[in-house]
Chain A
C-alpha cells in the first residue's frame, strides 16, 4: 500500500551506495521481499520505475526474490514452511514459534555499469 514510500527509501540507499562510483549507472538491484512484509513486488516495481527517473538508478531492473514464510518451533525445534501464515507448528502443534524468514525487506546487492564505457 505504501510501496512508493518504500521505493523512495530504496532509492536513498542506492544513491548513497552509488556515491563513490560517480558517473556510473545502476542497472540491476537484487532485493529480498518476504511474504509477510506486506509489499507487492509489482507495485514496488511500478513506483520504483516512476521515482527513479532522472537519478542514478533510472531504468534499473529490480531483481526480486520473494521469500516464503518459515517458522521454527521452540518446542520441537523443527523448521517448517508455512504457506497459510499460521503461527502454529505443523509437527507438534506448538504455538511458541519464531519467524525465521518471511518478513524481509532487504536490498542484497546492486550492479553498476561504468557510464564512460557503457555509453
Chain B
C-alpha cells in the first residue's frame, strides 16, 4: 500500500524557526545568524562589533560551538550578555537550540541579537533559526575558490564579510576571481572587505547593522 506523505524533512525545524522569528519581531529584536569556517574570524569580528556598538545599542550574543564555553567568555568580557550553546557534536545550530537559548535573555531589553553559528561552511546554511539576516564571514586565507565549492552559504546570506585583507600581500588570493564567482552564485550579495586586526573596513560593517536597526 502506498501512502502519500509530502513533507519537508526539515519541516520541524522550519516551524520552530518561524515561531522564533515571530517572537523576535514582537519583541523588536533584530537577529543576525553569523556563519563561517572555523578560524574565519567570527568571534573576533563579534568582539570588534560589540565594542563599536554596545554604547548605543543593547546587544546580546549566542555562541554556538560543539564544545567549550571559550567564545561566550570572550564576548562576556566585553560587558554584554553572552550565552554559550554546546551542540554536543552537531555541526550547526537549529531552531530548537536557539529557542531554548533565548529563554535566558530578557528580549524586551534587547535591540540586537547576534548568533554565532558552529564553524562550518556547509550545514548552518540549511537550518534557519528565526534570524532576520544571515551573515557569512570568510577569510582570504581560505582561498578564492570557495564560492563555487560551497555555493549554498553564499546564496542564503545577505552580506558577505571578507576578512583578513591585511594578509593579501602575502597570499595568491585572486580577488577578481573571488568577487566574480561570488556574484555569480549570489548577484545580490553585499560584499564588505575588512580586517578585524587592523580595523580597516569595520565601520562599513557596523554601519550596515545600524541601517538594519533603524
Contacts and interface: CB of A to CB of B under 8 A. Distances in A.
Interface of A: 1-2, 5-6, 9-10, 12-13, 17-18, 21, 24, 31, 36-38, 84-88, 95-96, 104-114
B57 to A, nearest CB: 32
Interface in B91-106: 91-92
Minimum-distance CB pairs A-B, first 3: A95-B187, A86-B184, A85-B151
B3 A110 contact: yes
Interface residues of B, number: 29
B10 interface: yes
Contact of B1 (A86, A88, A111): A111
A88 B187 contact: yes
Given A87-B184, A105-B10, A111 B123 contact: no
Contact of B4 (A5, A86, A109): A109
A38 B125 contact: yes
Given A96-B188, A109-B5, 19 more contacts: A1-B91, A10-B9, A12-B12, A13-B5, A18-B3, A21-B3, A36-B152, A36-B155, A85-B148, A85-B151, A87-B155, A87-B184, A88-B184, A104-B8, A105-B8, A107-B9, A109-B4, A110-B3, A114-B1
Interface of B is mostly: mixed
Nearest to A104: B8
Interface in B1-22: 1-10, 12-13
Contact of A109 (B6, B126, B152, B184): B6
Nearest to A13: B7
Interface string B20-63: 00000000000000000000000000000000000000000000
B151 to A, nearest CB: 4
A18 B92 CA distance: 29
B86 interface: no
B182 to A, nearest CB: 11
A86 B189 CA distance: 13
A106 B125 CA distance: 17
A9 B120 contact: no
A13 B9 contact: yes
Contact of B2 (A2, A18, A106, A110): A110
B188 A95 contact: yes
Contacts of B13: 9
Contacts of B92: 2
Contacts of B191: none
B158 interface: no
Contact of B7 (A2, A5, A107, A114): A107
A113 B90 CA distance: 34
Contacts of B188: 95-96
